[in-house]
A and B are shown apart, each in its own frame.
Chain A
Amino acid sequence: METALGYMFLAGAFALIVSMALMLARLIGGPTLYDRLLAVNSFGTKTVLFLCVFCFIIDRPDGVDIALLYALMNFIATIAVLKFFNYRALDVNLNRVSVKGEDA
C-alpha cells in the first residue's frame, strides 16, 4: 500500500517535470516580455509543487518548509521584476503611485 502511494507520487513528480519543460518552451520561445514573466512565475509554482511531492516521496514531509520559502521567493521576485520594468527602481511606494503615472 505504502509503495503504491509512493509510485503515485513518483508519477505526479514526472508530470510536474513535464509541465516544467512546457513552461521552459514558452520561456525560451515566448515572443513578449510578459509571456516570459508568466512562464517564470508558473515555473516557480511548478518547482514548489515538485518539492512538496518529492518530500513525500522520500518520506520527509518537513521539507514542505522549503517549498514554502520557494513560494515566497517566487512571489517577491515576480513583484521585483515587474516593479523594475515599470519604474526602473525598487524603492517605489506602490501606495502612492497614481494610475496616471503609468502612462508617463
Chain B
Amino acid sequence: MAVSLNASSVAIPTIALDIGLMALLVVVAFAIVRMRSLFAIVMLQGVYSLVCAAWFVSLDAVDVAFTEAAVGAGVSTVLMLAAMLLADRKSEPVPMKRQWGPLLIVLIAGAAMILAVGDMPNYGAANSPANSYVGMDYIARTAEDIDIPNVVTAVLASYRGYDTFGETVVIFSAGLGVLLLLGLNGNAGRWRAKPNGHRVFRPSAPAAAVSKTSDETKPNETKKRRGRPRKSKASTPDGGDK
C-alpha cells in the first residue's frame, strides 16, 4: 500500500511511517470510545481527522486530504463543540449488557470488510477499475476538452457536472432545512439546555452579560451578522462529498 511514490530517484520505504500513523489512529479511536469527557472526545476527533489527512497524503490522495483537514479537523470540531454546549459535558457509561449487540454488528461488518480486501486490485494496478474504464479517457482528453490543468476539477465540474449539481442541491436543501428548524431570526445558537432539560434564553455575548439591563436589545443587534457564518458552515461540507 505504501510504495514510495517517486519513480525517478531511489525509493525510500515509507511503510513504517504509515504503520506509525495507523497505530496513532487506533489509539485515538479506542480513546474516543473509552473516554467520558465529551470535550476531550471532540478534541480527539479533530486529532483523528488530522492523522487521517496525513495518512491520505501518504496515499497520494492530496485532494481528499485537503477536504479532510478543512471539514474534519476544522468545521466539524466547531459544530461538535456547539452540539456539546447544548448537551452535557460528560457522557454516562453504558453498561456492558447493552454493548454485546453493537459489538457483534461491528465484528461482522469488520470481518466482511477484511473479506472484501481480497478482491481489491493492487495499488496502482493497470487493470483496476479506476484505471481501465473512463479514467484514462478523462486524463487524455481533459487538456483539449476543458482546457484546464487539473483533471480532478474537470471531472467534478464538467464530466460529472450533473452529479456535482445534484450533490450541491442536496447539501443546500439540507442546510436550508436545518436553518428552518433552528429558526432564521438569528437566535438559533442562543438556546441552551439546562441539566434538567429546562430551556433558558440567555444572550451569551459578554457585553450583554455585563449589562444585564440590555438583555432585550443585544440579540436584535446581532441578528444581521448571524446569518452569514451559519450559511457558509452549511455549504462547507459540500467539499466533503467529492
Chain A residues engaging chain B, CB cutoff 8 angstroms:
2-3, 6-7, 9-10, 13-14, 17, 20-21, 24, 27-28, 30, 33, 36-37, 39-40, 43-44, 47, 50-51, 54-55, 57-60, 63, 66, 69-70, 73-74, 76-77, 80-81, 84-92, 96-98, 100-102, 104
Contacts and interface: CB of A to CB of B under 8 A. Distances in A.
A37 B81 CA distance: 13
A104 B209 contact: yes
A36 B40 contact: yes
A60 B17 contact: no
B6 interface: yes
Contacts of A97: 206-207
Contacts of A54: 14, 17, 54, 57-58
Interface of B: 4-6, 8-10, 12, 14, 16-17, 20-21, 24, 27-28, 31, 35, 39-40, 43-44, 46-47, 50-51, 53-54, 57-58, 62, 65-66, 69-70, 73-74, 77-78, 81-82, 85, 189-190, 192, 204-207, 209-210, 222, 225-226, 229
B45 to A, nearest CB: 10
B190 A89 contact: yes
A90 B10 contact: no
Contacts of A57: 4, 12, 14, 17
